[in-house]
């Protein structure tokens, strides 16, 4: 790994901007060493001309032409957040106005161009996140169609500011035109194997915004616990959570997560995984799960959701009606993975039902039967759905806009991506990004190298790949170790999903990522080190 | 927490439960497992208001004993975590006076102002009965271990009342040297991260902090004799250093917890950062007959090197009170020495031929002798033994190479050396899943050799090398994984070989660590009543 370090500077000059209008500047400017943009913008041009930013005079403001104004709470909030990221949390006394010099950059004008800036809306899969950023004196201009693109541009702007040797904040003359390569760039957190306190979730939403992630996939419940407090079925968390008061997400907690995410342009997609992974549901809802048999009598244990009872579907109808109103996003993740058939097999009523339906002994048909009815229930709530790949593999009839989430290592995920897209479905990749799996050393490199479009297929198929998700499953993770385990390893996924496909130089990425992780640390995120070295400001928490 | 109207509840429920306690067996585990532990189902109630530590009448230490006074203060808050956070008026509505509980501590010898050392007797006896506990030990260090065990015996029921079962413990460590290595060179560890680690070490009864303080990447130790070492060799000369007062604070914090601080100044390799502040110390490497501008290990051929090392070791002796010093001696690359014509000339003069291990041996022998002359015991990494025949007999050898450490244990003990085992406990190496089980399965005396040889294994060390670790992830990576080795080094091996039996006790202990503010990561799915509150 030492050799990687030594080679990295060589790569830096070559790869930073993929040859777009850069030519002459390479080598001329020492300041380019300061480039720490992450993820790398699509088009980027910078010059050695640097402007100073004074905390006393610099402002982030709405451009005159902008459709957003002071009433846009989302942007006002973001302006303050990014001002603090750039200058630190200044005391008011220090903000007294000083003389403005010619070489100062006095403001960043944020210009939202669409008639509807979407200040009070929610981001969606269709959201245009592109932005243009032009930094020149006396004003920098950030242009975006809506607030979501403006948020991405603000993050980029904050990353362009650096401190020179005298501690002066500077920014170089720069032009950026940027947009994401994939529309769905997600992080999965699992709050069932271990309960994650609200502040851990919020801190990670902060970190996601720093990395331009835009989907929080909330694997909120599973076998081990049911921390989601349902209004319709309060007994689910009363009996299914690790603790009914301390280890639950109340409706206002959920609202807070959704709003906190919205302010950062992040969608919240909840996952309510069925028919497997539901042990904890059974504690609160009698008869929801299949009683397993040992010989000819019930063993006292329970298996997946019982797919042969109408009461199961009645429950799901009411439950998902609630979910569809609580979570504003157009999509719900319905799970559908890893259904263990042994319990179904043991149950005589299920066997009878199988015979009636003519399923023979093929329990995947029973699973499909369940899923199909569930999909109809969810479709009636006007939500789209995401499912894990098994649902597709088992041949369940799916709506055309269903998103198939690829997670398995076997068969090869490239083949699965090919098949899913060949069938015309939209695909999401997670297989190479199970970040809960750890190993010694710089494993971010392999994370970085994986590409969701790296499979055999037509261009049309490639277009069906809407993105991917980094997953941090919770078996070995809780509040104590989640954040350093996720960051900066998830940052590798962030760049793969945002930046141009050609941005693959590991040496160059290493240099930028080292700085990016120090930036996250400076902003209070305990992102772990990539390798030997130091940050000017080390992590102060603990 | 709602306080109004429920003030008296803890006490009342406590009294009620005493009655039924006989049928509710809630025996609480201790980590690491004491040598002898007998618990009964009888339990007594502890009221923070009526709880006290006292010195026994026959105790050599009495009030004014710095180590134990501080420990009483510390353990009171550990035993009653709600007390300091709780409401002020909790006691006002109590309808009956709670029973007092007194922990009487008696030590045979004083030594409250001394430092723990290799010969410290850490044994203790603890007897918990109704309304009192009697803790007896030879030294204050043994009393500290006993207080730790006592604190782990106290538990709370669902109403928040504190209980302790009748218990008899006879305990002593299996190995005298139970160490943990932190590396402050690959990444700088802020002082509070080190102090926090010392706290957690005491909870697991570790007793040696092996401070791998400097190495190739940086030299954060601010030397009083050679200030340029950190001025030029640290990541930053002001923010990324340990000042003399920082070091003193670490030593005192450790002393209060019965932990020795053994510094490592690794040479002749692993010294890149030294060269920046000490020109002429490192060997200039040559390329094609001319110096290449890069440097190798310490230059063992010139007198100035030994003068420098002697001054440095004198300072180390002055600053670090422990009688051990770790001199490193691992992973010396010979390529640079080979390239240097002066070194080659020296080899010829000394009759070393082309065997550079002889040159390394020559160097190590010199500084080991220097150390001995300063009345200090050297610890060196196994490389020094592997290469050389002549090693001062009282030198302690530390095994770090992963393969065949059992054979190495045999060879070293056969040669009559005392040995430390670290190879199977490099817990900076992480993998998915419950890797603590591997650490737990290690049997340090399971090698072929006589009883005498086995006795030469004085202990072991958990190593957390710093390549991928800094303040952001150190604590959850260390804990509770290091606890596995802690139990192996303290407890009776035959009673603690089954990891499945240890699992629930370790799970409980990790929740206890969380309760004490140590960011210990989970072993597997589940939850703690009091989850980690930080980020």
Contact A440 B532 (CB under 8 A): no
Q: Note the pLDDT tens digit of each residue in B459-493.
A: 999 999 999 999 999 999 999 999 999 999 999 99
Pairing between β-strand B260-264 and β-strand B282-287 as defined by DSSP bridges: unpaired
Would you report the helix, strand and coil content of chain A in percent, each value rounded to 5?
Answer: 35, 20, 40
Q: What is the reported pLDDT for A137?
A: 85
The dihedral of CA B288, B293, B296, B297: what is its sign? Answer: positive
Q: What is the reported pLDDT for A541?
A: 79
Chain CA centroid to CA A70, Å: 29
Contacts of A475 in chain B (CB under 8 A): 524-525
**CA-based nearest residue to B165, from B60, B302, B24:** B24
The whole-angstrom distance between B192's CA and the closest CA on chain A is 8
Pairing between β-strand A465-472 and β-strand A184-190 as defined by DSSP bridges: parallel
- pLDDT at residue B163 tops 50: yes
Tokens (6 digits) for B149: 């065990």
| Angle of CA points B519, B523, B527, to nearest 5° | 75
| Catalytic residue list of B | 331
Mutate to test the interface with B, among A205, A480, A525 (most CBs of B within 10 A): A480
Q: What is the reported pLDDT for A473?
A: 98
Contact B190 A438 (CB under 8 A): no
Model confidence band, residue B335 (pLDDT cutoffs 50, 70, 90): very high
Contact A527 B472 (CB under 8 A): yes
| Angle of CA points A511, A513, A518, to nearest 5° | 105
Q: What is the reported pLDDT for A103?
A: 76
Q: How far apart (Å, rounded) are the C-alpha atoms in residues B192 and B207?
A: 19
- A88-92, A233-237, B126-130, B225-229: least confidently modelled range: A88-92
Model confidence band, residue B388 (pLDDT cutoffs 50, 70, 90): confident
Q: What is the reported pLDDT for A90?
A: 62
Mutate to test the interface with B, among A486, A519, A528 (most CBs of B within 10 A): A528
Tokens (6 digits) for B292: 């290449």
The whole-angstrom distance between B364's CA and the closest CA on chain A is 27
The burial of A335, by beta-carbon neighbours within 10 Å (0-12 exposed, 13-18 middle, 19 or more buried), is given as: buried
Contact B236 A536 (CB under 8 A): yes
Tell me how many helices (H) and strands (E) chain A has. Answer: 18, 17
Q: What is the reported pLDDT for A309?
A: 97
Mutate to test the interface with B, among A219, A221, A241, A484 (most CBs of B within 10 A): A484
Helix (H) or strand (E) holding A84: helix A73-87
Minimal Cα distance from B526: which residue of A?
A: A194
Question: Is B197 at the interface with chain A, CB within 8 A?
Answer: no
Any residues with CB less than 8 A from the CB of A453 and at least 6 apart, and which? Answer: A462, A465, A501
**CA-based nearest residue to A40, from A538, A516, A495:** A495
The whole-angstrom distance between B170's CA and the closest CA on chain A is 34
Contact A439 B524 (CB under 8 A): no
Counting residues of chain B whose pLDDT is more than 70, the rounded percentage is 92
Chain CA centroid to CA A106, Å: 33
Q: How far apart (Å, rounded) are the C-alpha atoms in residues B351 and B13?
A: 82
Q: How far apart (Å, rounded) are the C-alpha atoms in residues B53 and A19?
A: 73
Contacts of A532 in chain B (CB under 8 A): 186-187, 217, 466-467
Q: What is the reported pLDDT for B534?
A: 82
Contact B525 A224 (CB under 8 A): yes
**CA-based nearest residue to A147, from A213, A66, A207, A217:** A66
More confident residue, A426 or B388: A426
pTM: 0.91
Q: What is the reported pLDDT for A231?
A: 97
Output phi, psi for B38, to 5 deg: -125, 120
Q: What is the reported pLDDT for B224?
A: 97
Contact A474 B428 (CB under 8 A): no
Q: What DSSP letter does each residue of B311-342 carry, written as one string?
A: HHHHHHHHH--SSEEEEE------HHHHH-HH
The whole-angstrom distance between A334's CA and the closest CA on chain B is 22
Indicate the SS3 state at residue B34: coil
Residues in chain B: 535
Q: What is the reported pLDDT for A34?
A: 52
Q: Which of A438, A476, A528 sits opposite B524 (nearest CB)?
A: A476
Q: What DSSP letter does each residue of A189-216 carry, written as one string?
A: EETTTS---HHHHHHHHHHHHHTT--EE
Output phi, psi for B123, to 5 deg: -75, 160
Contact A440 B428 (CB under 8 A): yes
A113-138: b (≥16 Cβ within 10 Å) or e: beeebbbeebbebebbbbbbbbbeee
A-contacting residues in B 339-398 (Cβ below 8 Å): none
Q: How far apart (Å, rounded) are the C-alpha atoms in residues B118 and A310?
A: 72
Pairing between β-strand A131-135 and β-strand A289-294 as defined by DSSP bridges: unpaired
Contact B532 A480 (CB under 8 A): yes
Q: How far apart (Å, rounded) are the C-alpha atoms in residues B42 and B51?
A: 19
> Could you count the other beta carbons within 10 Å of the beta carbon of residue B217?
23
Query: Which listed residue (A338, A390, A416, A538) is catalytic?
Result: A338
Pairing between β-strand A215-219 and β-strand A184-190 as defined by DSSP bridges: parallel
B21-43: b (≥16 Cβ within 10 Å) or e: beeeeeebbbbbbbbebebeeeb
The whole-angstrom distance between B249's CA and the closest CA on chain A is 18
DSSP letter (8 states) at residue A474: S
The whole-angstrom distance between B193's CA and the closest CA on chain A is 7
Q: How far apart (Å, rounded) are the C-alpha atoms in residues A111 and A146?
A: 9
Average pLDDT, integer, range B62-83: 95
> Could you count the other beta carbons within 10 Å of the beta carbon of residue A268?
24
Tokens (6 digits) for A167: 């501690």
Contact status, residue B259 vs residue B202, Cβ threshold 8 Å: yes
Counting residues of chain B whose pLDDT is more than 90, the rounded percentage is 87
Q: Which of A195, A243, A542 sits opposite B471 (nearest CB)?
A: A542
Question: Is B187 at the interface with chain A, CB within 8 A?
Answer: yes
Complex confidence, ipTM: 0.89
Q: How far apart (Å, rounded) are the C-alpha atoms in residues B264 and B9?
A: 54
Contact A440 B433 (CB under 8 A): no
Distances (CA, A) of A113 to A78, A123, A145, A177: 18, 17, 5, 15
Chain CA centroid to CA B458, Å: 14
- pLDDT at residue B30 tops 60: yes
Question: Is B524 at the interface with chain A, CB within 8 A?
Answer: yes
Contact status, residue B141 vs residue B260, Cβ threshold 8 Å: no
| Angle of CA points B449, B453, B458, to nearest 5° | 130
Q: How far apart (Å, rounded) are the C-alpha atoms in residues A273 and A226?
A: 11
Tokens (6 digits) for A298: 């019930």
DSSP letter (8 states) at residue B394: T
Chain CA centroid to CA A126, Å: 16
Q: Note the pLDDT tens digit of each residue in B249-284.
A: 999 999 999 999 999 999 999 999 999 999 999 999
Q: How far apart (Å, rounded) are the C-alpha atoms in residues A412 and A407?
A: 10
**CA-based nearest residue to B32, from B521, B420, B495, B419:** B495
Tokens (6 digits) for B115: 């430092």
Contacts of B188 in chain A (CB under 8 A): 534, 538
Residue by residue, what is the 3-state secondary structure of B76-105?
HHHHCHHHHHCCCCCCCCCCCCCCCEEEEE
Any residues with CB less than 8 A from the CB of B217 and at least 6 apart, and which? Answer: A532, A533, B185, B186, B235, B272, B273
- Is A338 catalytic? The answer is yes
The burial of B478, by beta-carbon neighbours within 10 Å (0-12 exposed, 13-18 middle, 19 or more buried), is given as: buried
A-contacting residues in B 103-162 (Cβ below 8 Å): none
- pLDDT at residue B8 tops 50: no
Tokens (6 digits) for B433: 């899943």
Q: How far apart (Å, rounded) are the C-alpha atoms in residues A390 and A384?
A: 18
Contact A480 B196 (CB under 8 A): no
Tokens (6 digits) for A328: 């504003």
Indicate the SS3 state at residue A290: strand
pLDDT in single tens digits along all 542 residues of chain A: 333 333 333 333 333 333 333 333 333 333 444 589 999 999 999 999 999 999 989 999 999 999 999 999 999 999 999 999 999 866 544 545 556 666 789 999 999 999 999 999 999 999 999 999 999 988 999 999 999 999 999 999 999 999 888 889 999 999 999 999 999 999 999 999 999 999 999 999 999 999 999 999 999 999 999 999 999 999 999 999 999 999 999 999 999 999 999 999 999 999 999 999 999 999 999 999 999 999 999 999 999 999 999 999 999 999 999 999 999 999 999 999 999 999 999 999 999 999 999 999 999 999 999 999 999 999 999 999 999 999 999 988 888 889 999 999 988 999 999 999 999 999 999 999 999 999 999 999 999 999 999 999 999 999 999 999 999 999 999 999 999 999 999 999 999 999 999 999 999 999 999 999 999 999 999 999 999 999 999 998 76
Minimal Cα distance from B194: which residue of A?
A: A542
A-contacting residues in B 59-98 (Cβ below 8 Å): none
Q: Which of A246, A440, A480 sits opposite B476 (nearest CB)?
A: A480
Q: How far apart (Å, rounded) are the C-alpha atoms in residues B401 and B384?
A: 12
Contacts of A225 in chain B (CB under 8 A): 527
Mutate to test the interface with B, among A193, A532, A536, A541 (most CBs of B within 10 A): A532
Q: What is the reported pLDDT for B26?
A: 47
Alpha carbon distance, N-terminus to C-terminus of chain B: 22
């Amino acid at each position: 790994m030492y050799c990687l370090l030594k080679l990295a500077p060589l790569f830096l000059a070559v790869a930073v901007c993929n040859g777009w209008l850069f030519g002459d500047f390479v080598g001329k400017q020492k300041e380019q060493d300061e480039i720490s943009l992450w993820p790398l913008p699509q088009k980027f041009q910078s010059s050695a001309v640097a402007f100073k930013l004074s905390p006393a005079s610099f402002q982030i403001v709405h451009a005159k032409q902008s459709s957003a104004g002071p009433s846009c709470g989302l942007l006002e909030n973001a302006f303050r957040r990014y001002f603090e990221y750039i200058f630190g949390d200044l005391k008011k006394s220090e903000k007294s106005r000083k003389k403005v010099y010619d070489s100062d950059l006095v403001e960043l004008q944020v210009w939202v161009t669409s008639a509807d800036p979407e200040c009070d809306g929610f981001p969606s899969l269709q959201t245009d996140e592109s932005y243009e950023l032009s930094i020149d004196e006396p004003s920098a201009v950030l242009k975006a169609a809506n607030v979501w693109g403006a948020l991405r541009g603000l993050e980029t702007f904050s990353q362009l500011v650096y401190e020179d040797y005298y501690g002066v904040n500077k920014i170089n003359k720069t032009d950026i035109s940027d947009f994401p390569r994939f529309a769905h760039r997600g992080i999965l957190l699992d709050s069932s194997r271990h309960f994650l306190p609200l502040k851990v979730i919020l801190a990670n939403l902060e970190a996601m915004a720093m990395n331009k992630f835009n989907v929080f996939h909330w694997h909120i419940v599973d076998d081990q616990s049911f921390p989601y407090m349902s209004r319709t079925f309060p007994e689910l968390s009363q009996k299914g959570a690790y603790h009914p008061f301390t280890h639950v997400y109340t409706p206002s907690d959920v609202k807070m997560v959704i709003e906190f995410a919205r302010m950062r342009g992040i969608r919240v997609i909840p996952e309510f995984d069925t028919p497997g992974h539901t042990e904890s549901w059974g504690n609160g809802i009698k008869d929801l799960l299949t009683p397993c048999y040992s010989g000819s009598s019930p063993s006292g244990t329970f298996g997946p959701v019982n797919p042969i009872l109408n009461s199961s579907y009645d429950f799901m109808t009411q439950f998902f009606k609630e979910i569809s109103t609580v979570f504003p996003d157009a999509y719900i993740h319905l799970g559908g993975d890893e259904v263990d058939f042994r319990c179904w097999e043991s149950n005589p009523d299920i066997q009878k039902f199988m015979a009636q339906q003519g399923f023979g002994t093929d329990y995947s048909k029973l699973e499909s039967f369940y899923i199909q009815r569930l999909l109809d229930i969810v479709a009636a709530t006007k939500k789209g759905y995401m499912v894990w790949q098994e649902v597709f593999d088992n041949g369940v009839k799916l709506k055309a806009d269903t998103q198939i989430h690829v997670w398995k290592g076997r068969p090869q995920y490239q083949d699965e991506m090919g098949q899913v897209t060949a069938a015309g479905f939209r695909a999401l990749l997670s297989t190479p990004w199970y970040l809960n799996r750890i190993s010694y050393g710089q494993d971010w490199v392999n994370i970085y190298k994986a590409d969701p479009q790296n499979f055999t297929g037509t261009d049309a198929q490639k277009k069906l790949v809407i993105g991917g998700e980094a997953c941090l499953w919770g078996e070995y993770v809780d509040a104590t170790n989640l954040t350093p385990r996720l960051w900066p390893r998830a940052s590798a996924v962030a760049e793969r999903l945002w930046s141009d496909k050609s941005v693959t130089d590991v040496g160059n990425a290493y240099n930028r990522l080292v700085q990016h992780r120090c930036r996250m640390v400076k902003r209070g995120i305990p992102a772990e080190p990539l390798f030997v070295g130091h940050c000017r400001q080390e992590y102060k928490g603990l | 927490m709602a306080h109004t109207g429920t003030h008296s509840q803890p006490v009342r429920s406590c009294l009620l439960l005493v009655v039924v306690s006989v049928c509710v067996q809630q025996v609480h585990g201790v980590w690491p497992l004491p040598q002898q532990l007998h618990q009964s189902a009888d339990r007594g109630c502890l009221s923070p208001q009526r709880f006290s530590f006292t010195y026994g009448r026959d105790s050599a230490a009495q009030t004014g004993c710095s180590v134990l006074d501080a420990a009483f203060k510390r353990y009171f808050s550990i035993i009653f975590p709600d007390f300091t956070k709780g409401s002020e008026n909790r006691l006002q509505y109590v309808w009956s006076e709670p029973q007092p509980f007194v922990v009487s501590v008696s030590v045979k010898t004083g030594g409250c102002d001394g430092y723990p050392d290799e010969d410290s007797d850490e044994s203790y006896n603890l007897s918990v009965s109704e309304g009192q506990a009697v803790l007896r030990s030879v030294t204050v260090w043994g009393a500290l271990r006993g207080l730790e065990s006592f604190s782990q015996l106290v538990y709370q029921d669902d109403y928040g009342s504190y209980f302790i079962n009748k218990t008899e413990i006879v305990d002593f460590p299996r190995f005298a040297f139970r160490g943990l290595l932190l590396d402050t060179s690959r990444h700088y560890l802020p002082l509070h991260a080190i102090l926090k680690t010392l706290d957690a070490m005491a909870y697991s009864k570790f007793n040696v902090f092996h401070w791998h303080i400097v190495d190739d990447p940086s030299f954060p130790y601010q030397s009083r004799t050679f200030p340029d070492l950190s001025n030029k060799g640290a990541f930053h000369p002001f923010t990324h250093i340990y000042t003399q007062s920082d070091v003193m604070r670490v030593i005192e914090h450790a002393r209060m917890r019965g932990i020795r601080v053994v510094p490592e100044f690794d040479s002749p390799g692993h010294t890149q950062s030294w060269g920046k502040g000490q020109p002429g110390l490192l060997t200039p490497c040559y390329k094609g007959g001319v110096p290449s501008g890069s440097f190798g290990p310490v230059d063992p051929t010139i007198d100035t090197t030994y003068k420098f090392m002697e001054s440095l070791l004198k300072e180390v002796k002055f600053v670090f009170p422990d009688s051990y010093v770790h001199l490193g001696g691992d992973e010396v690359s010979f390529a640079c020495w080979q390239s240097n014509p002066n070194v080659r000339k020296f080899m010829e003069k000394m009759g070393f031929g082309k065997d550079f291990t002889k040159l390394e041996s020559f160097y190590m022998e010199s500084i080991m002798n220097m150390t001995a002359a300063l009345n200090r015991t050297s610890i060196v990494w196994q490389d020094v033994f592997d290469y050389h025949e002549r090693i001062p007999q009282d030198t302690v050898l530390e095994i770090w190479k992963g393969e065949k450490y059992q054979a190495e244990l045999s060879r070293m003990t056969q040669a009559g050396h005392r040995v430390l085992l670290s190879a199977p406990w490099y817990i900076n190496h992480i993998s998915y899943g419950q890797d603590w089980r591997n650490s737990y399965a290690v049997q340090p005396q399971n090698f072929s050799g006589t009883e005498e040889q086995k006795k030469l294994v004085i202990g072991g060390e958990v190593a957390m090398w710093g390549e991928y670790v800094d303040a952001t992830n150190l604590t959850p990576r260390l804990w509770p994984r290091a606890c596995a080795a802690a139990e192996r080094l303290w407890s009776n091996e035959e009673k603690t070989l089954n990891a499945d039996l240890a699992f629930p006790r370790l799970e409980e202990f990790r929740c206890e660590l969380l309760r004490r503010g140590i960011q210990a990561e989970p072993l597997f799915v589940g939850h703690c009543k009091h989850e980690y509150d930080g980020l």
